[in-house]
Amino acid sequence: MGAQWKAKHKDLAANAKGRVFGKLAKDIMIAARSGADPASNARLRLVVEQARKVSMPKETLDRAIKKGAGLTGEAVHFEHVIYEGFAPHRVPVMVECLTDNVNRTAPEMRVLFRKGQLGTSGSVAWDFDHLGMIEAEPSTAGADPELAAIEAGAQDFEPGPEDGVTVFLTEPADLDLVSRALPAQGFQVLSAKLGYKAKNPVDPATLSAEHLEEVEVFLAAIDANDDVQTVYAGLAG
């Protein structure tokens, strides 16, 4: 969780899946601005693969691609905004949003941060590294993540959010290059994007069970907001 925070218990209820589809649809629309054909648009291809992995309906997927590529006549205007601050008990947080109305999102973030502390731009960013993050899984038996990281040009690697998945960390400018090099090293890329990784994550062992629960509830509430794409929390483990 020193990188992207993800809920420990994945709720598969319809409304939770709907939120996942909504976040992915925004990513698809943004990626489709560079072309509606996944075969010639690497960023779109990766997001489409993510959407299929979580069983996004084909109609929803196709509509997002067409809308983002400007094929429906609808204007798509999303602004990328980052909010910084602290969860309860001084856990640093970076919240990445894609919104069509900052005047709606900003007050919602202020309300959500009441149980923590909303900071100004740069207030916690200094304590995070901005990196390329590639989630990949072995496509060949015996694939070695350490060797793959070296050969593909990644800066580092760490265990991913799911068993068998490795997160390869890169310089921001090397994200696409490393993504394209990993398949030759025996790894199938599942997702690739820029993100934030805490430099000095808080050790959960230093928090009581009650305090840790407060942090988790706070992060889950922010993640549930429709304008929030990704939550990066400075929490180790």
The string of pLDDT tens digits covering residues 30-58 is 989 889 998 888 888 888 888 888 889 99
User: Model-level pTM?
Assistant: 0.82
In 51-206, where do the E strands start and end?
A: 79-87, 91-99, 117-118, 128-138, 156-159, 166-170, 187-198
pLDDT at site 12: 42
In this prediction, residue 75 has a pLDDT band, given cuts at 50, 70 and 90, of: confident
pLDDT at site 169: 96
In this prediction, residue 9 has a pLDDT band, given cuts at 50, 70 and 90, of: very low
Summarised one tens digit per residue, pLDDT across range 16-26 is 677 888 889 99
Calculate mean pLDDT across residues 117-135: 94
Summarised one tens digit per residue, pLDDT across range 182-234 is 999 999 998 888 899 999 999 999 999 999 999 999 999 999 998 999 999 99
Question: Which residue's entry shows tokens 């490795």?
Answer: 166
* Class of CATH domain 14-68: mainly alpha
Summarised one tens digit per residue, pLDDT across range 220-234 is 999 999 899 999 999
Residue 10 has pLDDT above 80, yes or no: no
pLDDT at site 16: 66
Residue 74 has pLDDT above 90, yes or no: no
145: CB partners within 8 A, 6+ apart: 157, 166, 168, 187
The answer to whether residues 25 and 98 touch, using CB atoms and an 8 Å cutoff, is no
pLDDT at site 199: 94
pLDDT at site 3: 59
Residue 13 has pLDDT above 60, yes or no: no
pLDDT at site 53: 83
